[in-house]
A and B are shown apart, each in its own frame.
Chain A
Amino acid sequence: MFSNFPMSPPSASNFAAEYDFIFYVLLALTLAFTALVGVLVIYFSAKYRKGTKVDRSRPIYEHLKLELTWTIIPLLLGLVMFFFGARLFIKMRTPPKDATDVYVIGKQWMWHIQHSNGIRENNSLHVAMGKPVKLTCISQDVLHAFYIPAFRQQIHVVPGRYTTMWFTPTQVGTYHLFCGMYCGTQHSEMGGTVVVMEPREFAEWEANGGQSSAPMSMSQSGAKLFSAKGCNNCHGAEDTMRAPSLVGLMGTTRRFSNASPAKVDESYLRESILRPHQKLTSGYEETMPIYEGQLTEEEIINLIAYMKVLGSGVPIPATSNVNRASVPNDSAHANGKDPLTTNALQAERGEMDTTPTIRTHNPSVNAIAAEEKTHK
Chain B
Amino acid sequence: MSATPIDNTLLATGPVEEPVNYLNVDHSIKSWLLTGDHKRIAILYLFSTLFFFFLGSVAASMIRLELTSPVGMILESETYNKVFTAHGVIMIFFFLVPAIPAVLGNFLVPLMIGARDLAFPRLNLLSWYLYIIAGALILTVLATGGVDTGWTFYTPYSSMYSNSQVTMSIIAVFLAGFSSIFTGINFIVTIHKMRAPGMTWFRLPLFVWAAYATSVVVILGTPVVAITLLLVVFERVFHLPIFNPELGGDPVLFQHLFWFYSHPAVYIMILPAFGVQSELIANFSRKRVFGYHFVAFSTLAISALGFVVWGHHMFISSESMYQSVVFSLISFLVAVPSAIKIFNWTATLYKGTIRLQAPMLYALGFMGLFTVGGLTGLFLASLGTDVHLTNTYFIVAHFHYVMVGGSITAFMGGLHYWWPKMTGKIYNDGIAKVNALLVFVGFNLTFFPQFIAGFVGMPRRYHYYYLIPEVQAYHILSTAGASVLAISFVIPAVYLLQSLKSGPKASANPWGAHGLEWETQSPPITFNFTETPIVTDEVYDFDPVSEFEQERANAEMTDPGNDAAVTHTGEELPSGGTE
Contact = CB atoms under 8 A, between A and B. Distances in A.
Interface string A149-174: 11011111011110100000000000
Given A29-B375, A49-B354, A159-B251, A57 B569 contact: yes
Contact of B459 (A26, A45, A178): A178
A85 interface: yes
Q: Sort chain B's interface into a size bin.
A: 35 or more
Nearest to A33: B375
A143 B391 contact: no
Given A60-B290, A183-B157, A154 B356 contact: no
Nearest to B80: A188
Nearest to B457: A149
15 contacts: A33-B371, A55-B569, A55-B572, A82-B328, A86-B325, A88-B385, A89-B325, A158-B252, A180-B390, A181-B154, A181-B391, A188-B459, A188-B467, A189-B464, A293-B246
Contact of B385 (A23, A38, A49): A23
Contacts of A67: 291, 294, 340, 344
Contacts of A205: none
Interface string A248-291: 00000000000000000000000000010000000000000000
Which has the most chain B C-beta neighbours within 10 Å: A88, A145, A156?
A: A156
Contacts of B160: 142
Q: Provide the main secondary structure of the chain B interface.
A: helix
B347 interface: yes
A186 B388 contact: no
Contacts of B438: none
Given A23-B455, A158-B251, A185-B78, A78 B367 contact: no
Q: Provide the main secondary structure of the chain A interface.
A: mixed
B262 interface: no
Which has the most chain B C-beta neighbours within 10 Å: A22, A86, A191?
A: A86
Contacts of B21: none
Given A87-B384, A142-B160, A358-B469, 15 more contacts: A4-B470, A19-B388, A44-B352, A49-B355, A55-B572, A56-B548, A60-B347, A75-B333, A75-B336, A85-B386, A86-B329, A89-B383, A145-B391, A160-B250, A184-B81
A328 interface: no
A85 B321 CA distance: 13
Interface string B331-373: 0110110011011101101111111100000001001100110
Interface string A67-93: 100110011001101101111111111
Contacts of A156: 316-318
A161 B385 CA distance: 25
A154 B383 CA distance: 12
Interface stretch (A6-14, A226-234, A368-376): A6-14
A147 B466 CA distance: 16
A188 B353 contact: no
A88 B386 CA distance: 11
A159 B554 CA distance: 72
